Structure 1
Amino acid sequence: MLVEIASTDDGFRGSWYAATVVRRPSRRSSSYAVEFREIYEDEEGTRRVTEEVAGSQIRPVPPEEANPKRDFRVGDEVEARYNDGWWEGVVVDRMRGGRRFGVSFREWRERVVFEVGDLRLRREWVRGSWLPPGDADAEDRQQKAQSQMEMKVAKKMKSNEFTKGTPVEVSSDEDGYRGAWFAAVVVEEVSKGKYLVEFKNFRTEDGAELLKEEADALHIRPCPPEIIVADHFNLFDEVDALHNDSWWVGVVSKVLSRSRYTVYFRDTKEELVFQHSNLRLHQEWIGGRWMTASLDPKNNTRLV
């Protein structure tokens, strides 16, 4: 069976690699054995790499684009074919002629230019189906239906301008803290694209006052809107888990009793148990909008 595997290695989060399942879980092992299609042990390309992976790292191959020459827009979430895998990114530039696009990757914070044939719309595998579905015509209709007001708001928010007193979340590139977001408030703009923020849950070494630090706009985002999960989270839901006074992105790997869940963290390769109240559906701040694969945009509730 052909599938795609999410990498858990440092620096590779957000990348997917084609593989074939060669062994399923058994009583002796809960992991899958997979053979990668384009990753080899030797330079000659004669021996494919085989690894054991967790079920939370596996998804089916996304559907092929109905329109392989589709036109991407700035702000579109895409996956780009790069270094033998598909990497999650955001379209930030549309080159002259419309066949080449600049893509920014959250893991590297770099911009790379790709031909249209090396891009595909980013889709999420949620509860046994792909969102959005592989219907290019429906996607085009949805894009055209977006109001002019929404486009103006998105353009303004993409500038990453934050005013004094704005509640925000701040990320860090320090080892051991990647993937975590910390609640803070903007104190002031220090310079263009750089802000002084005050953390809500961290104090100075002497404990006298809340900790303040400078952060650039790429590491700051608004606080995500609340998504009501009235019943329960599902297996393989991508969530944020409240741990050590910050929010960490992970995947629900087990649904336990009494509203508890085991969450797998790809960056640290560990699993922790959380109560329902300490989880929220993961959202991405893309192009001035909050995006999530399992949200009904009409009423901000989880699709069931």
Structure 2
Amino acid sequence: MAPKSKAAKTSAASSPATAPFKAGFAVEISSDDHGFRGSWFTGKIIRRVANNRFLIEYDNLMEDDSGSKRLREVLNLHQLRPILPTETGREFKFGDEVDAYHNDGWWEGHITEECGDGRFAVYFRVSREQIVFQKEELRLHREWFHEVWVPPFEQQQQQQQEPEEVLTPALKSAETVTPAVKSAETVTPAVKSAETVTRAVKSAQTVTPNVKSVKIVTEERFSVGTPVEVSSDEEGFQGAWFSATVVQVIGKGKFLVEYQSLLADDGSQLLREEVDTHHIRPHPPQTVDGHFSLLEEVDAFHNDGWWVGMVSKFHDNSRYVVYFRNSSEELEFQHSQLRKHQDWIDGKWTVASKV
């Protein structure tokens, strides 16, 4: 993939530096590793090893196949959050954004079908798969945002100030928050320690949720000339879609596309790239968006692509602050730069409910 613009994923939540993470503190842990984004595993703090870096030990992940020793890693503060409290009596419905317990961790998705008998089909945006779960295996998805859970629990909500005051910090400067142009310096992650490399032992079974998988039909036929949107699994590009046109149907689920605004490396012509059916979709239908609500999931047009985020504050009906979970950043947009977020699932468009 030629250089676009980078909004590197650092965490599914923003954990403040003041969080009381001490030795023995129970936490949920996220990962920046490919195949684990959007998941949380439980563990505990062993000790602080540096400023905002901690040695943690997982509860259920083992260091090797023998299962004799729990996996330990040194992680950054933004990858940690307190254990999400258990909530009883929750009723789920179509469109709810949830976490589903699968392969020893909680994976973020949203409900695409109510199957009856307390069962729900959940679609995982990262792996583009759909799996059926019992309601006992689900919880409402929440973010740890400025030391509060969003959306709040009922008792927490009664004690809070208005959501705008709780959710929105001072807007960072454009220099601080604007995703930088992708380069070797910004994209290359730090070399992992031997402890971190052992994460591969989480097994291929964990990398992609596939147990009880409901087969999703992805063989949407796109003919030459069809306008489409294309995604990428490259580091820093997850959650973004770029406009393109199909220029050749290669076969076996492969297409050659030409981007509408991305240039080839030499800058002389528009970038062309081969993609598969998992990374291509039609243009979303236009919606009438009179006003976006607080916490509503939206796509924001930035650096030639549409990036999924959440409205964290609005100044008036034309200016909004959007929080990007993938990068734990906030940016301000005009109303015309936003659209309602939709997912292309099983040949149709679906909209998740407001967080």
TM-score by length of 1: 0.58
Alignment size in residue pairs: 225
Instruction: Measure, in 1, the Cα distance between the counterparts of 2:341 and 2:326.
Output: 15
Distance 1:78 1:272, change over 3 A: closer
Alignment of 1:101-120 (within 5 A): 105-108=124-127, 116=134, 119-120=137-138
Give the corresponding residue for 1:166: 226
Residue equivalent to 1:196: 256
Partner residue of 1:218? 278
Alpha carbons of structure 1 residues 14 and 284: separation in structure 2 relative to 1, 3 Å: farther
Aligned-partner Cα distance in 2 for 1:291–1:269: 25
Closer/same/farther in 2, CA of residues 44 and 156 from structure 1, 3 Å limit: closer
SS at match of 1:41: strand
Q: 1:85 aligns with which of 103, 106, 109?
A: 106
**CA RMSD, aligned part only?**
4.6
> Per the alignment, in what secondary structure is the counterpart of residue 218 of structure 1?
helix
2:304 aligned partner? 245
Please say if residues 97 and 110 of structure 2, whose CA atoms lie closer than 8 Å, have aligned partners that are also in contact.
yes
- With normalisation by structure 2, the TM-score equals 0.50
Deviation of 1:205 after TM superposition, in Å, equals: 3.8
Q: What percent of counterpart residues are identical?
A: 46
Out of 342, 345, 352, the residue aligned to residue 283 of structure 1 is 342
Return closer, same or farther for 1:127/1:280 CA change in 2, 3 Å cut-off.
farther
The superposition leaves residues 182-224 of structure 1 with CA deviations (integer Å, 9 ceiling, x where unpaired) of: 0001111112111000101122344443211100110001110
- 1: distance between equivalents of 2:347 and 2:223? 16
The one-letter amino acid paired with 1:235 is L
Equivalent in 318, 325, 330 of residue 266 of structure 1: 325
- Evaluate the alpha carbon distance shift between residue 62 and residue 206 of structure 1 in structure 2; reply closer, same or farther with a 3 A threshold: farther
In 1, Cα distance between equivalents of 2:245 and 2:87: 41
2-structure distance, mates of 1:187, 1:240: 26
Partner of 1:107: helix, strand, or coil? coil
Task: Using the TM superposition, give the Cα deviation of residue 124 of structure 1 relative to its aligned residue in structure 2, in angstroms.
Answer: 10
After superposing on structure 2, the runs of 4+ consecutive aligned residues of structure 1 that deviate more than 6 Å are 89-92, 98-104, 121-128
> Which residue number in structure 2 is paired with residue 147 of structure 1?
none
Equivalent position of 1:183 in the other structure: 243
CA contact (8 A) 2:142 2:151 kept: no
- Please state how far the C-alpha of 1:289 moved relative to its aligned partner: 1.2
Relative CO higher for 1 or 2, CA cutoff 8 Å, sep ≥ 6? 2
**Match in the other structure for 2:293:** 234
Note closer, same or farther for the CA distance 1:256–1:104 as it changes in structure 2 (3 Å cut). closer
- Give the Cα separation in 1 of the matches to 2:325 and 2:312: 11
Q: Distance in 1 between matches of 2:44 and 2:239?
A: 29
Question: Which consecutive unaligned segments of at least 5 residues does structure 1 have?
Answer: 18-37, 46-50, 129-154, 296-304
AA partner of residue 242 (structure 2)? F
Identify, as 1 or 2, the structure richer in strand: 1
Displacement of 1:14: 4.0
Cα distance change, pair 122–292 in 1 and its aligned pair in 2 (3 A): farther
In the TM superposition, what are the counterparts of 1:53-72 in structure 2 within 5 Å? 64-65=90-91
Distance 1:119 1:285, change over 3 A: farther
| CA deviation vs aligned residue, 1:217-265 (integer Å, no higher than 9, x gap) | 10001110111112x2111111100001100001111111461111111
CA distance in 2, matches of 1:287, 1:229: 25
Shift of 1:287: 1.5
Shift in CA distance, 157/84, structure 1 to aligned 2, threshold 3 Å: closer
